[in-house]
Structure 1
């Protein structure tokens, strides 16, 4: 029992530190910061080195496997030395947002950014700023740069809108507020038709009547954007206050926010025939979207990726410790066929299950 408590205390402490650091990153996008102020001190206390020479934001979409590889490459590029750190921010499901703090030279940083750009990714990069008070501007520039790469010509920020919807559904007010600011920056820059579509959808998400947009609009959408922003912010705040009593009543049985419960459930049920993310969502009384976002935010990977990792760990154990045939292991781990299992295993380890078993046995001898 003591060992269990110690392990859980360590997990809770790590989670607390991660959440504190993430809160600082969100606050950097919500409010201005000056050297020596409270937010500055909080960032440093939580390991975000805003006192380094250069600070800037980068946004990398994850709409393809290729871009996910570039994300990993970029993260290594920007965290490969003790004087440069990339801080990931879970703002979107479909994109990675990084704050980069570095004491490298401007030339070195620009060379690293260029390497990533040449790999073929559509990356939004903000200004390299020495003045910490311009950090929010760097994020806006990164967002603007990414929007300029939109080849559809629609002007509708689908990634940001999906993230805003999830934040509202989850009651994640800090994240919703950051996204709200960014979306209204977009409204001021896109064509009137796209701006109306964006605001219409935001009003619906905030449970406001979108028809008000046409009844009250007189000065033009861009001029009245700040007024609409405050109305949506107030509506979300009221909604949060109304939900608190219900959440308090249900606190005893509310499991959605407990990552330990989710992980336990996966480890106990991942080999069952009816196991799926949809089935899990119903068990935890939430939506597939909410559960998927919550899991990725906590674990840094999707549920399917996590399950695949568990299966591969189990496969290695069975190959090392038993004489089961590859086909039997594939069936045990619920793969459709031996061929699928072999392909997945090879992709993860760089060798076939048979070659892996042979290598392990040679090492034993």
Structure 2
């Protein structure tokens, strides 16, 4: 009888998973990643499965890895027999993932696990900006009674148009929520195949053609060669004057200097930003102090239940992997 595969996981993930995995026999053996302890080379040589769990990434940013995650990546590189890695995130755009794919390692993501939460955060930004909540807060800080009436009254939400770029689980849920507010949604994706709650769907090649109709530009796409730098000065200029931008995708989808200029000039009426070109966002960034800008620290998708949902996706794919079945949310290897 073959021995169960060895999985590289954090101690937190092992404790959470052990009670949920079948007990007779246990379908995994564990290699526990701890930043203060090196695993024996002979154990690393047996690792064929790895799970990058939420606890490993919570203290990291795009450009600053926490010790737990940095150590985990070092061990992944040392696992010569690694065959499959599951990650807790929806995206797989860290440089190490390209390295592993080039080695023939299969990578799957937890796409959809936080779709509702990211969408709710995007909607919170949408409502805060459209109803003038930023101005409420500013007035409250000044102890100033400043009602938004007359020419200061916000526009009606109903009848506005939002261009939603990316129609994966997050983009589709954003479209559904906006549709409930009677906002016309134009979706942008790789193909023009219709999507529920979108009045119209166009491919990326036609993005510029629909931007002049947009009161809102909402980014929910993955970071790929096609989407890196997708939104720059030209695209921001094409938007209706006073339009708003929401980015819950990845920072490099937007050319940040162009965004800052559009906000400073008043071409954009405001923005809700969860992601940035450099993370953590430097303290000297003008974005912190620009009026009409809401910032969250790349945490739009976090909630109390996210641990459980990412574990469920790992366990579902673990069952498929051990049965030799097709894996869900598998990342395509880059073309040569």
TM-score (norm 2): 0.28
Q: Which has the higher helix share?
A: 1
Return the structure number with greater relative CO, CA threshold 8 A, min gap 6: 2
TM-score (norm 1): 0.26
Structure of higher CA gyration radius:
1
